[in-house]
């Protein structure tokens, strides 16, 4: 059986705590995809606010506590950023 064709689901009942140790945050590039992933995993999408400053900086304010949790961010990167991050 091909593992790529097998449906995968996240079962929060397997976690030892009442809340899953998983936080999914959405960047500004694909909010619909992030919501679909959260629905598929049966979790609530984490809240965050994104601000762009005049000098091209991006500030992110995470509204939920992420301490001790696994955090996943759905956001595309740019080629320019990826090239400069290696130098």
- Please write the tens of the pLDDT for every residue from 34-77: 999 999 999 999 999 988 889 988 888 999 889 999 999 998 87
What's the half-sphere exposure (Cβ side, CA atoms, 13 Å) at 67? 1
Q: 3 pLDDT exceeds 50?
A: no
The three-state secondary structure class of 33 is helix
**CA–CA distance, 39 with 28 (Å, rounded to integer):** 18
**CA–CA distance, 13 with 76 (Å, rounded to integer):** 31
pTM: 0.64
């Amino acid at each position: 059986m091909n593992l790529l064709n097998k449906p995968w689901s996240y079962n929060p009942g397997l976690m030892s705590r009442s809340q899953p140790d998983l936080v999914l945050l959405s960047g500004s590039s694909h909010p619909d995809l992030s919501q679909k992933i959260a629905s598929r995993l049966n979790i609530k999408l984490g809240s965050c606010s994104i601000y762009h400053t005049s000098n091209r900086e991006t500030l992110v304010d995470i509204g939920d506590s992420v301490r001790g949790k696994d955090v996943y961010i759905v956001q595309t990167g740019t080629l320019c950023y990826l090239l400069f991050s290696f130098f």
